[in-house]
Amino acid sequence: MNERASESRDIRVYDDLAALSSAAAAEFAEIAARASAARGRFTVALTGGSTPERAYRLLASPPLHDSVPWSHTHIFFGDERCVPPDSPESNFGMANRTILGMLGDVGGIYRMEGELPDHDEAARRYEAEIARVFELSPGGLPVFDLVLLGMGPDGHCASLFPHKPALNVTDRIAVATAPGLKPFVDRVTLTFPVLNNAENVLFMVAGAEKAAALGRVLDGPPDPDGLPSQRIRPTSGRLVWLVDRTAMRG
């Protein structure tokens, strides 16, 4: 692994997805332990997609499983496809198969109800759940200890796709949005103000198909509408890019 901390950026390059996943799982466990020790709980928003699966499985098994204070951990989702939770396309379903189903006592698991016919209602119900758990005052934003993100080959993160209105929403915690890539189903997603309010944001990006977008996101000219991941700039939190060599040019 070599680190490229140009400017204040923290970009860690790994030989392959296996090494990236081990590092991501270790970082997750460390942030969890630190948050739980400091505040008595750990709040995390999981990413969907396929990249995190290996890291999730590592966290569900010893030794890392035993280093995470699961009974004080509150697990949310950064986004969800508008499908039933048992659909193969469901981010909750993927997390349930790779980690959630294996955990014992957990502080809380909060699923986006993508299966509701009214997707805006699903977003509003999720906002209410977040407001309850984080004890938000009206207009307040949650401060997640950790937000995990993947990045699509189009530079999207969560379900914040290029040129979609959701990119510019600043007065909501979660919104329903149209798809931008497969699976072409509507989505529910956290918004940029929430993602950028986190204490720690970890991007996990692997695969040659991501290289063009990753190069533009990291080193290309500003293109916040065409490359939504460029909008991830935590207000005061830490942003770490965990990438594999195939996703990094050269």
CB of 51 to ligand 6PG, least distance (A): 3
CB of 36 closer than 8 Å to CB of 222? no
Dist. CA 115–CA 148, nearest whole Å: 23
Dist. CA 212–CA 192, nearest whole Å: 23
Q: Closest CB to ligand 6PG among 11 and 206?
A: 206
As a whole number of angstroms, the longest Cα–Cα distance in the chain is 47
Dist. CA 204–CA 201, nearest whole Å: 10
In the bound complex, which residue of the shown chain has the CB atom lying closest to ligand 6PG? 150
Of all helices (H) and strands (E), which one includes residue 81?
strand 79-81
Q: Closest CB to ligand 6PG among 49 and 142?
A: 49
Residue 106: count other Cβ atoms within 10 Å of its Cβ: 14
Interacting residue with ligand 6PG among 36, 49, 145, 242 (CB under 6 A): 49
Please report the DSSP string for 172-235 in residue order. -SEEEE--SSSS-S-EEEE-HHHHTT-SEEEEEE-SGGGHHHHHHHHHS---TTT-GGGG---S
Using CB under 6 A as the criterion, what x/- string covers residues 77-96 for binding ligand 6PG? -xx-----------x-----
Q: Closest CB to ligand 6PG among 36 and 159?
A: 159
Q: Which stretch binds ligand 6PG (CB under 6 A): 16-24, 31-39, 49-57, 163-171?
A: 49-57
Q: Closest CB to ligand 6PG among 38 and 208?
A: 208
Residues whose CB falls within 8 Å of the CB of residue 66, separated by 6 or more in sequence, listed in order: none
Dist. CA 158–CA 80, nearest whole Å: 8
CB of 184 to ligand 6PG, least distance (A): 12
Q: Closest CB to ligand 6PG among 36 and 194?
A: 194
Interacting residue with ligand 6PG among 24, 42, 44, 48 (CB under 6 A): 48
Q: Closest CB to ligand 6PG among 29 and 202?
A: 202
C-alpha count within 13 angstroms, C-beta hemisphere, residue 247: 28
Using CB under 6 A as the criterion, what x/- string covers residues 145-184 for binding ligand 6PG? -----xxx---xxxx-------------------------
Using CB under 6 A as the criterion, what x/- string covers residues 97-136 for binding ligand 6PG? ----------------------------------------
SS3 51: coil
DSSP letter at 74 equals E
CB of 150 to ligand 6PG, least distance (A): 2
Q: Which stretch binds ligand 6PG (CB under 6 A): 31-39, 41-49, 104-112, 135-143?
A: 41-49
Which positions lie near ligand 6PG, rule CB under 6 A? 47-51, 78-79, 91, 150-152, 156-159
